[in-house]
Amino acid sequence: MAWHKAASTDALQDGSVIGVEINGLDIALYKLDGAFYATGNICTHQHAYMSDGYVDNGCIECPLHQALFDIRTGAVVDGPTKSPLPVYPTMIEGDAILVELPD
Ligand code: FES
């Protein structure tokens, strides 16, 4: 596991999501209540980017078939998949959001 710079903290407004690619991995970054979270950016149902979806009440809704995942845990809350999103640890260093990813 290693820490990677993913984005600047000012790239995200509270309640928003952006997609980034780090070492070939598609990652979705979120800001919720002032804290930053990271999940896989590809839906576990079919191929859709979670960063094209909608953040609502601590969840991300897939734009394609509306699967709902808990942003903090990746757990499926509703929808056509039973597979959670992978989640990754985050930390802030200066004005950078760092994400810990597998080597
Ligand atoms: S691709 Fe996300 S719910 Fe179908």
Domains of the chain in start order, with CATH, are 2-101 (2.102.10.10)
Rounded distance between C-alpha atoms, residue 12 and residue 34, angstroms: 10
Rounded distance between C-alpha atoms, residue 86 and residue 81, angstroms: 14
Specify the DSSP element, H or E, that contains 56: strand 54-56
d(CA 69, ligand 1 centre) in Å: 11
81: pLDDT strictly greater than 90: yes
pLDDT in tens, 17-61: 999 999 999 999 999 999 999 999 999 999 999 999 999 999 999
16 lines ligand 1 (CB under 6 A): no
d(CA 80, ligand 1 centre) in Å: 7
